[in-house]
Amino acid sequence: MKITIPDFALVLLIGPTGAGKSQFARRHFRETEVIASDHCRALVADDEADQSATEDAFAVLEAIAGRRLKRRRFTVIDATSVRREDRARLVALARRHHALPVPLVLDIDPQICAARNEARPDRAFGAHVPHNHAKALRRDLRNLGKEGFRHIHVLRTPQEVDAVEITRVPLWTDQRHDHGPFDMIGDVHGCFDELTALLDALGYQRDPYAPGESLMGARHPDGRRAFFVGDLTDRGPRNVDCLRLVMGMCAQGQARCVIGNHDFKLSKWLRGRKVKLDHGLDGTVAELEACSPEFRAKVADFIDGLLSHAWLADGALVVAHAGLKEEMHGRGSAALRSFAMFGETTGETDEAGLPVRLDWVRDYRGDTEIVYGHIPVAQAQWRNNTLCIDTGCVFGGALTALRWPERAMVSVPAAREYAPPLRPLRSPGPDGADGVVLPEAAPDDAGLLFFDDFARKQRIQTRLGASVTIPEENALAALEILSRFGIDPRWLIHLPPTMAAPPTAHDGSYLEHPDQALAYYARQGGGPVIVEEKHMGSRALIVVARDAGAAARRFGVTDGRAGVVHTRTGRAFFADTALEAQVVARIAAAVVTAGLWDELATDWLLLDAEIMPWSGKAQDLLARQYRPTATAAQVSAQALLEAIAAADDPDELQELRARAQSRKANAEAMQRTLAGYCWEADTIDAWRIAPFHLLAVEGRVLTAQPHHWHMQTLAGLCAQDPILRETGWQVIDPASASEREAVVAWWERHTAQGGEGLVIKPDAFIVQDGARLVQPAMKVRGRDYLRLVYGPDYDMPDNLVRLRQRALNRKNSLAEREFRLGLEGLERFVARRSLREVHACALGVLALESEPVDPRL
Q: Give the residues lining the site for other proteins (CB under 8 A).
A: 351, 362-363, 437-440, 442, 444-452, 454-455, 476, 479-480, 482-484, 486-488, 559, 623-633, 635-636, 639-640, 643-644, 646-648, 650, 652-653, 656, 659, 787-791, 793-794, 799, 802-803, 805, 855-856
Q: Compare residues 135 and 456 and give the one whose CB is closer to other proteins.
A: 456
My answer on whether omega of the bond before 613 falls inside 30° of 0, hence cis, is yes
Interatomic CA distance for residues 758 and 619, integer angstroms: 24
* Minimum CB–partner distance for residue 508 and other proteins (Å): 19
* Minimum CB–partner distance for residue 470 and other proteins (Å): 15
* Minimum CB–partner distance for residue 843 and other proteins (Å): 10
* Minimum CB–partner distance for residue 484 and other proteins (Å): 6
Q: State which amino acid sits at residue 209.
A: Y
Q: Compare residues 523 and 804 and give the one whose CB is closer to other proteins.
A: 804
Q: Compare residues 342 and 790 and give the one whose CB is closer to other proteins.
A: 790
Q: Which of 166, 165, 164 is nearest to 6 (CA)?
A: 166
Assign 852 to helix, strand or coil: coil
* Minimum CB–partner distance for residue 564 and other proteins (Å): 11
Please report, for residues 457, 463, 471, 517, the alpha-carbon distance to residue 460 in angstroms, rounded to integers and kept in the order given.
10, 10, 11, 30
* Minimum CB–partner distance for residue 578 and other proteins (Å): 14
425 and 376 Cβ atoms separated by less than 8 Å: yes
DSSP state of 505: P
Q: Compare residues 745 and 807 and give the one whose CB is closer to other proteins.
A: 807
DSSP state of 382: E
Interatomic CA distance for residues 837 and 458, integer angstroms: 12
Q: Compare residues 279 and 856 and give the one whose CB is closer to other proteins.
A: 856
Q: Compare residues 437 and 831 and give the one whose CB is closer to other proteins.
A: 437
Q: What angle do CA 808, 459, 369 make, to 5 degrees?
A: 135
Interatomic CA distance for residues 392 and 415, integer angstroms: 12
* Minimum CB–partner distance for residue 46 and other proteins (Å): 32
Interatomic CA distance for residues 702 and 786, integer angstroms: 32
Residue 394 has a CB neighbour count (10 Å cut-off) of 26
* Minimum CB–partner distance for residue 636 and other proteins (Å): 4
What lies within 8 Å, CB to CB, of 352 at 6+ separation is 422, 423
Q: Compare residues 277 and 455 and give the one whose CB is closer to other proteins.
A: 455
Q: Compare residues 279 and 627 and give the one whose CB is closer to other proteins.
A: 627
DSSP state of 360: G
* Minimum CB–partner distance for residue 645 and other proteins (Å): 8
Q: Compare residues 94 and 361 and give the one whose CB is closer to other proteins.
A: 361
Q: Which of 199, 198, 265 is nearest to 230 (CA)?
A: 265
* Minimum CB–partner distance for residue 680 and other proteins (Å): 14
Q: Compare residues 335 and 647 and give the one whose CB is closer to other proteins.
A: 647
* Minimum CB–partner distance for residue 345 and other proteins (Å): 16
Interatomic CA distance for residues 338 and 402, integer angstroms: 24
* Minimum CB–partner distance for residue 57 and other proteins (Å): 30
What lies within 8 Å, CB to CB, of 775 at 6+ separation is 500, 520, 812, 815, 816
Q: Compare residues 641 and 744 and give the one whose CB is closer to other proteins.
A: 641
529 and 734 Cβ atoms separated by less than 8 Å: yes
Q: Compare residues 205 and 509 and give the one whose CB is closer to other proteins.
A: 509
Q: Which of 760, 713, 358 is nearest to 530 (CA)?
A: 760
Q: Compare residues 140 and 445 and give the one whose CB is closer to other proteins.
A: 445
What lies within 8 Å, CB to CB, of 438 at 6+ separation is 445
Q: Which of 446, 464, 338, 375 is nearest to 773 (CA)?
A: 464
Please report, for residues 47, 146, 180, 524, 654, the alpha-carbon distance to residue 506 in angstroms, rounded to integers and kept in the order given.
68, 82, 59, 20, 30
Q: Which of 43, 144, 126 is nearest to 87 (CA)?
A: 144
Q: Which of 64, 56, 4, 60 is nearest to 34 (CA)?
A: 64
Interatomic CA distance for residues 182 and 167, integer angstroms: 31
Helix ranges (H only) for 688-808 are 707-718, 737-752, 787-790, 797-803
DSSP state of 184: E
Sort 798 into a burial class: Cβ within 10 Å, 0-12 / 13-18 / 19+. Answer: exposed
Q: Compare residues 168 and 657 and give the one whose CB is closer to other proteins.
A: 657
Q: Compare residues 135 and 624 and give the one whose CB is closer to other proteins.
A: 624
Assign 130 to helix, strand or coil: helix
* Minimum CB–partner distance for residue 760 and other proteins (Å): 24
Interatomic CA distance for residues 750 and 395, integer angstroms: 68
* Minimum CB–partner distance for residue 857 and other proteins (Å): 12
* Minimum CB–partner distance for residue 482 and other proteins (Å): 8
* Minimum CB–partner distance for residue 781 and other proteins (Å): 13
690 and 726 Cβ atoms separated by less than 8 Å: yes
DSSP state of 463: S
Q: Compare residues 134 and 637 and give the one whose CB is closer to other proteins.
A: 637
For the chain, the distance separating the N- and C-terminal CA atoms, rounded to the nearest angstrom, is: 71
Q: Compare residues 295 and 454 and give the one whose CB is closer to other proteins.
A: 454
* Minimum CB–partner distance for residue 662 and other proteins (Å): 12
- List, in sequence order, every residue forming a beta bridge with 303; answer none if it has no partner: none
Interatomic CA distance for residues 563 and 568, integer angstroms: 16
458 and 475 Cβ atoms separated by less than 8 Å: yes
Q: Compare residues 245 and 479 and give the one whose CB is closer to other proteins.
A: 479
* Minimum CB–partner distance for residue 445 and other proteins (Å): 4
Interatomic CA distance for residues 371 and 184, integer angstroms: 8
